[in-house]
A and B are shown apart, each in its own frame.
Chain A
Amino acid sequence: MATRPTDISLSPARAVPTSRWFVLQYKMAPYLFVSPFLILFAIFGAYPIVKSLILAFYVTNGPKSAVFVGLQNFIFLLSDDDFHKAVWNTAVFAFWSVFLQLPLSLGLALLLNSRWVRGRELLRLAFFSPNLLGQVFVGVLFSVLFIPQYGLVNRFLHFIAGVPLDTKWLANPNLVMPALVLTSLWMYVGFNMIYFLAALQAVDKDLYEAATVDGANAWHQFWAVTLPGIKPVAVFVLVMSTIGSFQLFELPWIMLNNSAGPDQAGLTIVMYLYQTGFVTGDLGYASTVGWTLALGVLIISLFQMRVTGAWKGGD
């Protein structure tokens, strides 16, 4: 607090008003400005956090009746096959999202950033456009595109690769995940590409020139200049898309007709949370699932930042 008066008179040439009201409003301003956030956070953030920690130790039948069960929920979680399935499905989805989507996004961004490309703005727009459609709307659209025999996806794949026309993407447990990954690829490749492209454009041009003078080839340049240059953004995209993947719900829920799909092949963690909490009415177990999810996301994000950070350290 002691530093404040010096703050207010940055340039001593002309002084700011020194009336008591003026000084007071200056001092209070930041607190007032962040107070809506703090108040709302206290009510709709902090309280639910505490409450959901408590709820995790109850079995409930809606918000009206609850039975304390101690650690039972957590113990049950360990042997709950449905939950395990949800975790597995979500992890598989996250894996493909990261390892298929991000390289593709980066590749597109690199191509788009090359000096040979014409109509860069329009192409960027086209790649990005699917992201404008929300998951629900994409879900409805793709549930029709994926229908067997007459759907566009099957007609296209039949035409180019001879895939059987009656391939039942959304009714075959083995194909549900590929269908979901494909759809999310369509939705998010362009979205992530935007980040990579912005990062590529921000890389210092002089560094490339220096590398060229040193006789580095394109591949070398990519490793020595481009990748380190875009690393902060890449880490950001990696962490964000992993977190996003772990929250997957709407897309499969809508595509699979408000269900987890055949053999629960589209069951995700958040879907399981929704079903137990809001269809069965067990808000307690739903909280247990939620906290497990939060913990998982935290660990994975930290791990990713650590690993990518270590990679920098060894550079």
Chain B
Amino acid sequence: MRFPYGPAALSMLILSILSGAWLALNPIPPKKATLVMWTFAKTHYDAYKQAIPSFEAKHPGVKVDLQLVSWQAVTSRLQAAFLSDLDVPDLVEVEISAAGSFFRGPLKDVGFRDLTDRIKQSGLYDRMVQARFAPYTSRGRIFGLPHDVHPVMIAYRRDIFDQLGIDVNKIQTWDDFIAVGRKVTIPGKRYMLELPDSESSRFEPLLYQRGGGLFDPQGNCTMDNEIAVQTMLFYVPLVAGPNRIASDLGGGQIFTRAVEDGYFLCMIAPDWRSKTIEVDVPKMRGKMALMPLPAVYPGGRRTSTWGGTMIGITKHCKYPDLAWELALHLYLNKDDLAQRFRDTNILPALKEAWDHPAYDEPRPYWSNQPIGRLYAKLAPDVPFQYTSPFVATAKGKLSEALVACVQYYKQNGDKGFEEFVRKRLKQSADEVRRLMRRNPY
């Protein structure tokens, strides 16, 4: 018998039945795990995969299900999970700039457990770098354990620096750095530094270096204070105008090619990014090196911080004690941390862990520098950064201000620039403040 409704309907029917049958025969395996944990970084995922078996061995019958969730999706998926009470993981690693958005609403509605007492009672508050608790604290309560410190250095093409006869020991301040940069930059071909002119991810570390920030400890927006103005006046001429020494192309394979081609000589490099560079630009092995961030004034702070991760336990979690133990297992085991440092270059927030010899090992990629020691030396100087539920908005507004200032500077140069920067930063900050006032919680 012929099918009377045409080939299209017939094929749809067949497809529907076949795929339906396949899905019925291959159901999603039910999760039998005791603890479900999400992480968004591939490097963390690989490291924890190795660390979890020993935890499971210590706790017979306990099964940990580790899931890798894309960085862009983790915030919205976690938010959706919290809002609908469905598939909420027990432990989550949250990125530093996303953390604040989970602290919206009354404290009792925050999806994460308050870890303040556990952290204070176990002495962890003093054993870890204190500055790193700030981004995960809201209204005095701590909702996450810091994974890292992320001190910032500068990664540079050592081979080209040698060829050009640049002595990095003579680069002490940003003024020194800029003077060298002007000499070596060839517009369109070679730039001293990689800095974006359209978003604020690298403006922020330079703001923190000067002791500034988006918010103060009370959660007030401070992105238009004098420090922010000075940072902007410093940053914009680096990326725009006739004397620019910085440019930016993007990430991934474009970045790889740009570094290989010597398009950038220097990059702002927190510990995690030193690993990204190793992975993305493997051909530069032995040709790269690290130096401390130039200071704002002689003798000033030679580092800053960029990025970060916390681990939090959700209120949904049925075994909070076990989850807390897993968090400690992942974040405090000195030998594991040392191995993880070898794999990821990330300096843990636990200060006593830095004694391990792993941090003194010379790294061939970085011209045999002991990069662990270099980062650890800077770690105590890492500045505080405070957060707010409005941190994502504030970052967006800061980027907008940066873009506007860059545009102004391109058109008008120094003329009236300082006045414009003040006005523009205030405008952005006021927008954040207005949003904050609207919040009924």
Contact = CB atoms under 8 A, between A and B. Distances in A.
Interface of A: 59, 61-65, 67, 69, 72, 76, 79, 81, 147-150, 164, 166, 168, 171-173, 257-260, 262-264, 278-281
- The secondary structure that dominates the B interface is helix
Contacts of B73: 258
Interface in B367-406: 396, 399-400, 403-404
Interface string B79-90: 110111000000
A168 B250 contact: yes
Nearest to B400: A263
A262 B199 contact: yes
Interface string B234-275: 000000000000011110011001100000000000000000
A253 to B, nearest CB: 10
B105 A65 contact: yes
Max chain B C-beta neighbours (<10 A), residue from A64, A65, A173: A173
Given A69-B440, A263-B399, A279 B76 contact: yes
Given A148-B254, A171-B250, A264-B400, A281 B79 contact: yes
A71 to B, nearest CB: 13
Interface of B: 72-73, 75-76, 79-80, 82-84, 101, 104-105, 109, 188, 196, 198-199, 247-250, 253-254, 257-258, 396, 399-400, 403-404, 431, 434, 438-441
A53 B439 CA distance: 21
A62 B111 CA distance: 12
A280 B84 contact: no
A76 B80 CA distance: 25
Given A61-B109, A168-B250, A173-B403, A262 B79 contact: no
Contacts of A259: 72
A280 B104 contact: yes
A76 B438 contact: yes
A258 B250 contact: no
Given A63-B84, A148-B254, A278 B104 contact: no
A147 B250 contact: yes
Given A171-B199, A260-B396, A264-B400, 6 more contacts: A62-B83, A65-B105, A149-B249, A166-B247, A259-B72, A279-B75
B429 to A, nearest CB: 12
Contacts of A65: 105, 109
Given A61-B104, A63-B84, A257-B72, A81 B431 contact: yes
A168 B198 CA distance: 10
A280 B257 contact: no
Contact of B403 (A76, A150, A262, A278): A262
14 contacts: A61-B105, A62-B83, A63-B84, A65-B109, A79-B434, A148-B249, A149-B258, A166-B188, A168-B198, A171-B199, A173-B403, A278-B79, A279-B75, A281-B79
Given A61-B109, A258-B72, A149 B403 contact: no
Nearest to B72: A258
B198 A278 contact: no
Contacts of A150: 253-254, 257
A29 to B, nearest CB: 20
A59 B440 CA distance: 8
A281 B83 contact: yes
Contact of A264 (B109, B188, B396): B396
Contact of A149 (B79, B254, B399): B254
Contact of A278 (B72, B80, B404): B80
Q: Nearest 10 pairs between A and B by C-beta?
A: A62-B83, A262-B198, A258-B72, A263-B403, A61-B105, A67-B440, A171-B198, A148-B249, A279-B76, A263-B400
Contacts of B72: 257-259
Contacts of B253: 150
A147 B254 contact: yes
Given A79-B434, A281-B79, A172 B104 contact: no
B438 A281 contact: no
A270 to B, nearest CB: 15
Nearest to A76: B438
A145 to B, nearest CB: 13
A4 B83 CA distance: 53
A72 B437 CA distance: 12
A69 B439 CA distance: 11
Contacts of A67: 440-441
B77 to A, nearest CB: 10
A220 to B, nearest CB: 44
Nearest to B437: A76
Given A61-B109, A72-B438, A149 B257 contact: yes
B74 to A, nearest CB: 11
Contacts of B84: 62-63
A147 B249 CA distance: 8
Contacts of A171: 196, 198-199, 248, 250
